[in-house]
Amino acid sequence: MTASPALADLHWLLGSPSLLAPAALPAGVADGSAALGESWWRRLDPAAVAAAFEGSTATGPFRLGRHAESLLRAGLARLPGHALLASQLPVRDGGISLGEYDFLLRQPGEAPLLHIELAVKFYVALPHAGGLHYVGPGLRDALDLKLARLFGHQLRLAGTPAGRAALPDPAAAVQPMAWLRGWMFYRDPADVPWAGLAADHLRGWWRRWGEAWPCSRPGGRWRALAKPDWLAPRRLEEAGADLAAQQAEAARQFAAAPQPMMVAEYAPPAEGGHELARGLVLPADWPQPGRLESLLDAVAALPPARPA
């Protein structure tokens, strides 16, 4: 068993299923697959990686994306036979920012330089207008928008003059790679996912506040997940709450601040305390029509470039 939450989260980032099916990736973009991630995990020295996090203190509010970046940076920097040449490397053209390379990883031998773009996303599969729209719980992001930027801009940086100039070796061959992780939350288990998603992508459920929560088993234990616990499943070490108690706590939180809440259901600690399911509980008036309309208008304005 991994020894710390940070190591568990890194293992999850490397070895959990990709969000997208390989066939959904544009030509020339490699998949940061779970198989590749697991092979890297097996080569890492957990003690050396854990030492990178000892004594580190974050300042300011916790940001899940920054947390994931720091975890992957620590792993790639200690991957035997590889060299992490840069992370979050800015690309500018005449003082104008064009973006940044998330990670530039030199592989063994004559293999091309890997340009890895990391994204960890949690989307709600919203039935709307006869289909499913994958939107962020805050209605500020959508899968279509993320993929358009990822494939239309971020992973194309090495093909631009400014992007080439920013590379440690502008003449190096570069292999773009999408490292996509996260969860999709469905209203109904029978909802048919978009065909471009990986068949084994991680799935949870969603409900509006006031609706019944689905349960995996009688006697399950529950807790709300703070954002630092959104990546790797944790075992329930304490008793946890029963469903009624967890919903009572959720009622207090929604009364104070009606914000999306992630919850997890567990087997009792006496039976291992493993996570059984995850859900997103959304405000009773979600989705707010004006915000949803603005988001879907932005999606509709995209060129028809989402891989199928």
pLDDT, the chain, mean: 94
| E-assigned strand segments in the chain | 30-31, 83-93, 96-106, 113-128, 131-135, 174-186, 202-208, 221-225, 261-266, 275-282
Tokens of 51: 């030492």
Write down the pLDDT at residue 238.
85
Question: Measuring CA to CA, which residue among 275, 277, 273, 274 is closest to residue 238?
Answer: 273
- How many Å is the Cα radius of gyration of the chain? 20
Q: What share of the chain is helix, strand, coil (3-state, %, to 5)?
A: 30, 30, 40
Distance CA 220, CA 199 (A): 27
Say how many CA atoms lie within 13 Å of 125 toward its Cβ.
22
Question: Is a pLDDT exceeding 70 seen at residue 58?
Answer: no
Residues 6 or more apart whose CB falls under 8 angstroms from that of 223 comprise 236, 240, 241, 246, 263, 264, 266
Q: How far is CA 41 from CA 7, 31, 105, 212, in A?
A: 10, 16, 15, 39
pLDDT tens readout for residues 86-110: 999 999 998 899 999 999 999 999 9
Mean pLDDT of 116-137: 95
Question: Is a pLDDT exceeding 60 seen at residue 305?
Answer: no
Question: Is a pLDDT exceeding 60 seen at residue 307?
Answer: no
Question: Is a pLDDT exceeding 60 seen at residue 1?
Answer: no
Question: Is a pLDDT exceeding 60 seen at residue 306?
Answer: no
pLDDT band at 130 (very low <50, low <70, confident <90, very high): confident
The residue whose two tokens read 């509709």 is 300
Peptide bond into 287 cis (omega under 30): yes
The residue whose two tokens read 């709300």 is 224
Write down the pLDDT at residue 56.
66
Question: Is a pLDDT exceeding 70 seen at residue 169?
Answer: yes
pLDDT tens readout for residues 149-161: 999 999 999 999 9
Question: Is a pLDDT exceeding 70 seen at residue 13?
Answer: yes
pLDDT tens readout for residues 261-284: 999 999 999 999 999 999 999 999
Neighbours of 113 (CB within 10 A): 21
Mean pLDDT of 35-62: 87
Question: Is a pLDDT exceeding 60 seen at residue 139?
Answer: yes
Distance CA 234, CA 220 (A): 15
Where are the domains positioned within the chain? 5-56+63-91+98-192, 210-282
Question: Is a pLDDT exceeding 50 seen at residue 133?
Answer: yes
